[in-house]
Amino acid sequence: MGTWTDLAKECARAARDALRLDASVSPVAVVLGSGLGGFADELASARSVAFAELPGLPRATVLGHAGRFVFGDLAGVPVLAQQGRLHGYEGHDAATVAFPARVLGVLGARALVLTNAAGAVNPQLHPGDLMRITDHVNLSGRNPLVGPNEPDLGPRFPDVSRAYTPDLAEALERAARETGIELRSGVYAHFLGPSYETPAEVRMARTLGADAVGMSTVPEVIVAAHQSGPCCAISCITNHAAGIADKPLTHAEVVAVAKQVEGRFSQLLRAFLPHATAAVPARKPLA
């Protein structure tokens, strides 16, 4: 295997050919988490390619994660959707988990919009809520930038204090106001999984300032910051976390609640896309 830079460029070229994506197009990239993949079905003139058909990308194995890229148009905006993602608990290191986000950046995505299903640790949040992530706490013990730095992608010590781009945050809030959709905001804590958090871990996360917990998203945010890519993230609150919930947690329930929210979620994203393209400039691809 070559460097992550070489592999990301190779994967990006293969994805561009498979999706017939013109190099002059700078799409909004949307990563769709558990139960939220149906948004990609709304894209007009859609073309898709599975992770397994691209170099360096393992198959997605988790229920609710199709594991493919879909390119099309929505609300007059070119969109590159990632249906499903990779997770550390599947056996991948953090750099592999974040690799699809690397590829989206190399393809010239003007913005990276990350979504996930999350458990509420803030008692003011409830299943069905949508929460804009304002910041995160990485409790996984892993970072996708560990190892030699690759300067073509970004600096050795990237600043992540503004990893969640303020202009995109305002675009999300504006879309929420226009659609009348309540958009909460809060801090997301990332655990490795696949076991759900213990009640003590949930209390710890809350003490550290987290409002929701989950098993994804943070590695992708870190590589977006490393590549100086504009980024925002939305959690679909699907359950109360352990110690708050009064029943055992199951992934099937997580996917089911996300499916119930999918209509509001898609409506919010449709309204957001034009504002996102106005908020951040187009980016040139690296390959």
Average pLDDT, the chain: 92
42 catalytic? Reply is no
239 catalytic? Reply is yes
Closest CA to 262 of 64, 37, 74, 46: 37
The domain limits of the chain are 4-279
188 catalytic? Reply is no
Residue 226: its H or E element: helix 218-226
Spatial separation of the C-alpha atoms in residues 84 and 93, rounded to whole Å: 17
Catalytic residue among 116, 122, 140, 216: 216
164 catalytic? Reply is no
Closest CA to 95 of 159, 46, 143: 143
Catalytic residue among 239, 258, 271, 279: 239
**Whole-number pLDDT of residue 33:** 83
Report the first-to-last Cα separation within the chain, whole angstroms: 18
- In the DSSP assignment, the letter for residue 95 is H
In the chain, where does DSSP find H-type helix?
Answer: 4-19, 94-97, 99-106, 166-179, 199-207, 218-226, 251-279
Catalytic residue among 29, 215, 276, 287: 215
Catalytic residue among 40, 65, 98, 212: 65
251 catalytic? Reply is yes
pLDDT digits (tens, 9 = 90+) for 253-262: 777 777 788 8
196 catalytic? Reply is no
Q: Is 112 helix (H, G, I), strand (E, B) or coil?
A: strand
**Whole-number pLDDT of residue 239:** 86
**Whole-number pLDDT of residue 261:** 83
pTM of the model: 0.94
Residue spans of the chain under pLDDT 50: none
Q: Which CATH superfamily is domain 4-279 in?
A: Nucleoside phosphorylase domain (3.40.50.1580)
